[in-house]
Amino acid sequence: MKGVKQSVFVLKSEELIEGEPQDVVVNGNVVLVARIGGEIYAVEGICTHAYAELIDGDLDEHCLVCPLHFACFDIRNGIVLEGPANVPLTTYEVEERDGKIWINE
């Protein structure tokens, strides 16, 4: 049914360590999931500037740095904090319940 969000199980809560992002695949899309300050965030896992897997970059607090050209994105909302990227990352709604992490698509 169109317009209805579907939750996709991606990880057990215990598998997502604070400050250590992980890649998951949701309907063929690479999604980077990270726990920062106790909150869980999920953004597209490929840089919007040039193809680079963001899991290979660095995460410094809320700044997710691309390994290729060092663009920086805010993992909380996908906004570009520093170029050369100028297109924000897609963000995903995340839920943690019953010891599991779910992404709503």
| pTM metric for this prediction | 0.92
pLDDT in tens, 30-64: 999 999 999 999 999 999 999 999 999 999 999 99
DSSP 18-85: BT--EEEEETTEEEEEEEETTEEEEEESB-SSSS-BGGGSEEETTEEE-TTT--EEETTT--EEESS-
| Token pair of 100 as six digits | 């599991």
The residue count for the chain: 105
Distance CA 81, CA 93 (A): 21
Q: Please state, for a pLDDT cut of 90, what percent of the chain lies above it.
A: 91
Q: Is the pLDDT of residue 6 over 90?
A: no
